[in-house]
Structure 1
Amino acid sequence: MTSTGKQSAALGADFLRHELQEAAPRATGVEGYMEHDAAVYRTLLESTRAIPWKIDWASMEFAYVGPQIEALLGWAPSSWKNVQDWAARMHPEDRDKVVEFCVAQSKAGTDHEADYRALTSRGEYVWLRDVVHVVRDERGEVSALVGFMFDISERKKTEEKLAALQRELEALSFKDGLTSVGNRREFDAVLQREWSAAQRHGSPLSLIMVDVDFFKSYNDYYGHVQGDACLKRIAGVLSDAARPGDFVGRFGGEEFVLILPNTGADAAREAAERCRGLIGAAKIPHERSPFRQTVTASFGVGSVIPAEAGDPLAFVNFVDTQLYRAKDNGRDCIAAGKPAG
């Protein structure tokens, strides 16, 4: 440690001893205990790089700021005159929230912590954590604030990386591992959200269920690896056919689903026709299919304006019925309808 660093730690240790003596002036042997363990406090400050400070409550002026603050932020201790200097050197996005919180906690006499970004003399920002102790006088009134500043920049970087990874994992948990479109979990969440929105606004909501025709025969003939490749292509075709705001997901197996917000029956039927046409245009070979030996699909379409007592699951079951009606009608076609009531 440099001579300046040792001097800073010594000053901080003296400050800490003084504050503890002030807080407990009648405690037996406190002064001697502090003198005996001065090295402990010096080591604490050296290892944590904590920056001690004190603010007089009546004047809102700094009574003390540890000299270590200049090495961290570039501002000399003499430039920290009052709480306005502290607030002014705080990131604008953090300032109001942190100042209001600290003032409220201090007035209530509650010890507290606050994290914020502090401006350096170089125009950069460093994440700090202020740990604040409220000192009261003999009448129980707030007389001072005593605390430590800690540089938590590295911790914040780690937290941000972990948060990004968490968001990435959350996104992956809503995606089908094979086709990269939404999975059943995301379908359930999106359907519930769009159903509630349609209820609030009285707007139409449509659903398209898609089943790849004769897919078992496709797998038996081409093998499961090629079958997976086929499902990926179908997912890509459906995604290309979807409009911004539509949801495309894999419902399970060879079944896919599209959620179309603010879409009535006619537009939903047109969307299904567009999907059917694009699948046909892809001309994916299927030797076991009676339809031009290419992959085709059957479509069930439903449209509804959700009632207050409506049930989205019942709507899904209705559209699923339409899908099976299309398959019963010979496949490679569309069956559409509206739920009764």
Structure 2
Amino acid sequence: MNTQADDLAQDAEVYRTLLESTKAIPWKIDWKTLTFSYIGPQIETLLGWKRDSWQSIHDWSERMHPDDRERVVNFCVSQSQAGSDHEADYRALTATGEYVWIRDVVHIMRNETGEVDALIGFMFDITERKETEEQLLRLQQELQELSFKDALTGIANRRMFDERLEAEWCHAQHQKQPLSLIMVDVDLFKQYNDLYGHIQGDSCLKQVAEILSQCAARSRDFIARFGGEEFVLVLPDADANAALKVAERCRNQIFKAQIPHAASTISPVLTISMGVATQVPTRQDSLQDFVERVDRLLYQSKQQGRNRIAS
């Protein structure tokens, strides 16, 4: 007849067999000494380190990616000191020098007086899950970028222009600095499309976008496709003279490109018309009024014969 001690020993052996047959890696740390009193044999399959090489939490922390170490160790220690169960994700170093994503699920064991006695937990390999999450995150970022990008030219679209201009307007208000805006219209583009076809028209707009992008050379200068054959350049901290120089550069570079436009009544090559305005905005000023003023200037340049700048 088995004794109670034999029964307990058998139960313990059953539990250990169950634990060591799972993919999760069980472990136990003595809180007073911060040493491993147990770690499952699965650790060798996952990370390659021998079981007897896991002596203390120093071995655990040293086998962690340097970028994760401080954050994870500080979090786990503080939670353990507070007696709180917790989880932590980090990259663990393998014996071959690679990294595997691990999730540690930690449970606090207490003694009769309620003090923390030991930490027990499981390590889970979550590499595949992390890779999937990172892939989804990249896809979300790509979709977000696409939502702000003009599909044809690759530059910013109207939505991005609206957000960026509003941000620069607020910055100019706060810093009491000038903000310049240039609106660009490709002259007689309907006639260009009618003569050369829409495919060639699309190619022309791409070329115009590339040229204009090169003219707005400073890091905070911003170009977007406003719609159709219209483009806009936002020039933060640029006064009227600087804005006019950029506009002239745009017009000259488009002319130098010598893009044929046989249907134009202005020039045998492609030309552009522009409206340019500069403002140091105050709290009383309206961004919409500013944009409408530049739009009127663009209309004025077209009414006056095109291939010119109105400012």
Question: TM over 0.5, yes or no?
Answer: yes
Alignment correspondent of 1:271: 246
Does 2:273 align with 1:298? Answer: yes
Runs of at least 5 residues in structure 2 that lack an aligned partner in the other structure:
1-6
| Partner of residue 110, structure 2 | 136
Q: 1:325 aligns with which of 297, 300, 305?
A: 300
Residues 2-56 of structure 1: CA distance to partner in whole angstroms, max 9, x if unpaired? xxxxxxxxxxxxxxxxxxxxxxxxxxxx979x959948x8567545x11100112
When the two structures are superposed, what TM-score results if normalisation uses the length of structure 2?
Answer: 0.88
User: Which of the residues 70, 82, 102 maps onto 1:108?
Assistant: 82
What is the aligned counterpart of 1:214 among 163, 175, 188?
Answer: 188
Partner of 2:165: 191
Aligned to 1:254: 229
**Letter of the structure 2 residue corresponding to residue 116 of structure 1:** Y
Aligned to 1:87: 61
Query: In 2, Cα distance between the equivalents of 1:197 and 1:31?
Result: 72
Corresponding residue to 1:314 among 271, 289, 295? 289
- Does structure 1 residue 121 correspond to structure 2 residue 114? no
Question: What amino acid does structure 2 have at the position aligned with 1:279?
Answer: I
* RMSD, matched Cα: 2.5
Moved more, 102-111 or 125-134: 102-111
CA distance in 1: counterparts of 2:158 and 2:17, whole angstroms: 59
CA distance in 2, matches of 1:124, 1:308: 56
Displacement of 1:131 in angstroms is: 0.8
Distance 2:286 2:36 in 1: 63
Matches within 5 A, 1:145-184: 145-184=119-158
Identity over the aligned pairs, expressed in percent? 56
- 2:3 maps to none
More moved, 273-282 vs 191-200: 191-200
Number of aligned residue pairs: give it: 304
Structure 1, unpaired ranges of 5+? 1-29, 337-341
The answer to whether the aligner puts 1:283 opposite 2:255 as a matched pair is no
Change (3 A) 1:111 1:313: farther
Q: 1:318 to 1:118 in 2, by over 3 A?
A: same
Contact 2:178 2:279 in 1 (8 A): yes
What does residue 3 of structure 1 align with?
A: none
Q: Decide whether aligned partners of structure 1 residues 85 and 36 sit closer, same or farther in structure 2, where only a CA change above 3 A counts.
A: closer
C-alpha distance in 1 between matches for 2:167 and 2:112: 58
Partner of 1:227: 201
CA change 1:45–1:291 in 2 (3 A) is farther
